[in-house]
Chain A
């Protein structure tokens, strides 16, 4: 008995000594002292303690780089251009970087450690991204698998963003998910509505964030958001806008259309093609049909790929790309400059780009957000 006790104390003591040793060694090895981060050639200079990832270090200083996976190195959203030498590309970065990105020294900020002075380049818009605290004001079923979530902003209580941008919702631990997760969703509300933001969130089977929103999130729950982010917004030109949305990809397009109407930018032709399978997958139809009545240059074209007999569907039928191709040839003015605005699945976007370029829109005039 005494031997067992002695052995237990000995093993316990050894474990404690080893744990203390690890803490001490970690403190010595990962102590890089104070380092400087230069952002955009002196636009902003941060003095920070080295050792953590660039993503974490920047967010602690109030500079938020988009990240949809919480720094696991799996989403590829947190890319930044590094202007100083920080060593070779890491094995955890390589799969998510294109060849030309590697040439330009684009790095994954969640994988790069800040060990010495570093110079980076990021889009200026990221300086205005913040953490917002909010409360869920309303949850509404748009379809059987898409919910509209309205979040009232508490701290700060107002937001400035460009119609078409997105935010990251912070999903708390639930069930077996024991850590916070962040996922990006396009803002569906208009920028004029400064005290709250709305999102269309489609349930993805097995999705951590969408399962939480659909099965656990309730009105009056507190929620954190980070943003705004994104390069998907209306370009200020006179070109006709050809917008194509699928599923929850309608969110940023709705924000853009509402914003244009509110700001009386109604001199441009806007075509909105919205693809769904059957009538039960369509939503916000009344909103856009009403917009058509109020704005003579706005054209709304919903199309169903597999309408049910009971739908009594009189509108366009077929894949949205086929309908788009038909309208290019039969309904649209062939002689006006055009821009494409796309939001939906990667497959839909790639197919729409093909149809648009075949019909005279150059690829640099096609703007898209592959993930609503």
Chain B
């Protein structure tokens, strides 16, 4: 995959202070295309069905919203909590605008935890972008698997 003009523009939007104060890249100095390809490879090697995971996360988002931002136990497997802050964030790929909604998921069987936002979910689903290493909202594929599957 090449760094197309669209990817270059998205990369600029991901830098610190453009859309969010912390940016989407953390301390990852790789090209955007390399970050995406490396995580796609990781997803393949872990045998993750991304569409199933996304469906599961959307389900947990809905359940969390129904609990009015209080923590809630779902299916005796996850303790989740949704937080919503004032405002919206545009996607750095410029294909949508998202409310600032965070979902914290804790797998009660192994105590593994994950923080994911509605924008993060869109970035993973549509762009296979899990964010750069060191980004506060990076979703590690291994962590994703541990939290959702085990």
Contacts and interface: CB of A to CB of B under 8 A. Distances in A.
Interface string B64-99: 011111111100000000111111111000000100
A181 B21 contact: yes
A95 B68 contact: no
Residue of B16, B72, B85, B97 with most chain A CB atoms under a 10 A cut-off: B85
Contacts of B88: 74-76, 95-96
Contacts, number: 99
Interface in A333-350: 344-348
B89 A178 contact: no
Contact of A277 (B17, B22, B72): B72
A319 B90 CA distance: 33
Contact of B86 (A320, A344, A371): A371
Given A68-B86, A76-B87, A344-B69, A206 B102 contact: yes
A179 interface: yes
A86 to B, nearest CB: 22
Nearest to B102: A205
B70 A206 contact: no
B137 interface: yes
B87 to A, nearest CB: 4
A137 interface: no
A14 interface: no
Nearest to A69: B87
Residue of A184, A206, A207, A277 with most chain B CB atoms under a 10 A cut-off: A206
A112 interface: no
> Interface residue tally of chain A, by bracket?
35 or more
Interface in A60-94: 68-69, 72, 74-77
20 contacts: A69-B87, A72-B19, A74-B88, A77-B87, A178-B16, A178-B21, A184-B86, A205-B83, A206-B115, A207-B102, A247-B70, A275-B70, A277-B67, A281-B70, A306-B70, A321-B68, A344-B68, A345-B84, A347-B69, A351-B68
B69 to A, nearest CB: 4
Nearest to A305: B70
B86 to A, nearest CB: 4
A205 B104 contact: yes
B87 A347 contact: no
A208 interface: yes
B64 to A, nearest CB: 9
A10 interface: no
A304 to B, nearest CB: 9
A208 B70 contact: no
Given A347-B65, A371-B85, 18 more contacts: A68-B86, A77-B86, A96-B88, A176-B21, A178-B17, A204-B102, A205-B83, A206-B115, A207-B85, A246-B69, A306-B72, A319-B67, A345-B68, A345-B82, A346-B84, A347-B84, A348-B68, A370-B86
A177 interface: yes
Nearest to B83: A204
Residue of A179, A184, A347 with most chain B CB atoms under a 10 A cut-off: A347
Contacts of A320: 68
A176 to B, nearest CB: 6
Contacts of B90: 74, 95
